Amino acid sequence: MSPLSPQQLYRARCLSLTGPLKNSHNPVLSVNATEMAAAACHPPTRFHHVHGANICIDPSHTQATRVESFANGLCFSQEPLEPGQIFLVEIEEKELGWCGHLRVGLTAHDPRSLDVVPEYSLPDLVNMGDTWVFAITRHHNHVTPDGSEARLQGFLSDPYLLIEQVRIPRDKLVGRSRPSQYSHMLDDLYKTNVLPPTARRSRIGVLYAIRSDGMADMHIIINGEDMGPSARSLPVSRPLYAVIDVFASTKSVRVIQVEYGFPSLQTLCRLVIQKHIVHRLAIDGLDLPPLLKNFCKYE
């Protein structure tokens, strides 16, 4: 008998945790067992202790900061990603004077196997083979023609990100600006609530999704929007680690833990509140606790 692949082991482990949940009175509440188990199976994401020479990882292994220069900023996920598991980071700090931005992707190389962590993800790590890295730019991150992918229509669009069999609540994936008093007159952020990809507080993630033919594609997610399959037919028989290159103008990033399966009650409450306002600053006029106001405006 041939050994099970990582995705087969993952599915088997998930299915062993729960059975199907059916609601005969309301089909909407019927839940696929694999989706529910997947939410319970994905462990928290952290940075690996192996990283570039200029990177400082905080004690929780959730923040990576490049302390000097513009290179030697490579980071890896602590564990290989499971199918459909996203490694999501938020840009915490920028540094002026450099050309270039964050780079993200996947590698089949175990970080512990590296004699020396490469200076750059592109081209150094990619040239080692079995590595796929995507350079984030301010514009033109889509790898599919315009119009072929669903676009965000404001922050109250489709609440789920859907890629193949992957279904993730979109809310946690979206970075949010800090609106000023007149931001609704100066820009379009009050309409979309979505930041430019390279801006501070922007959220960028990477995952791989199993296709119906058993192969996998790598997807880059920017502020809740799928950029399309940026690498196809990945070797899912090998463990795949996330690659985060804290490069050039990106100085510090923080890992964001993602909700799977269903949005939290807190998230659902925020969506209801936002649905009845015209601009985030209008939340200040509502009779709500200050902590809830801040959560609705900024988180």
Tens-binned pLDDT, residue by residue, of the chain (299 aa): 555 554 454 444 444 433 444 444 333 333 444 444 444 468 899 999 999 999 999 999 999 999 999 999 999 999 999 999 999 999 999 999 999 999 999 999 999 999 999 999 999 999 999 999 999 998 878 886 544 444 444 444 577 899 988 889 888 898 877 655 555 544 444 445 568 899 999 999 999 999 988 889 999 999 999 999 999 999 888 999 999 999 999 999 999 999 787 777 777 777 788 777 777 677 888 888 888 777 776 66
**Strand 103-107, strand 241-245: pairing:** antiparallel
Query: What pTM was estimated for this model as a whole?
Result: 0.77
Sign of CA dihedral 10, 15, 17, 21: positive
Domain boundaries, the chain: 47-142+156-255, 264-298
Q: Say what the pLDDT of residue 187 is.
A: 47
Query: Closest Cα partner for 221 from 194, 247, 248, 239?
Result: 194
Q: Say what the pLDDT of residue 269 is.
A: 79
Amino acid at 75: C
Place of tokens 């985060």: 244
Q: Say what the pLDDT of residue 172 is.
A: 86
**Strand 131-135, strand 225-234: pairing:** unpaired
The structure tokens listed for 194 are 């979505």
Residues 280, 184: Cα–Cα separation, whole Å: 9
Residues 132, 123: Cα–Cα separation, whole Å: 10
Residues 40, 87: Cα–Cα separation, whole Å: 16
**CATH classification of 47-142+156-255 is 2.60.120.920, yes or no?**
yes
Residues 290, 168: Cα–Cα separation, whole Å: 28
Place of tokens 């290159």: 245
Asked if 156 and 272 count as a contact pair (C-beta separation under 8 A), the reply is no
Amino acid at 106: L
Q: Say what the pLDDT of residue 35 is.
A: 45
Asked if 124 and 118 count as a contact pair (C-beta separation under 8 A), the reply is yes
Q: Say what the pLDDT of residue 147 is.
A: 43
Task: Write down the H helix ranges in 189-289.
Answer: 189-192, 265-275
Q: Say what the pLDDT of residue 252 is.
A: 98
E runs forming strands in the chain: 55-57, 63-66, 74-76, 87-94, 103-107, 131-135, 160-163, 166-169, 203-210, 216-222, 225-234, 241-245, 250-256
Residue 130 backbone zone (phi > 0: left; psi -120 to 50: alpha; other: beta): left
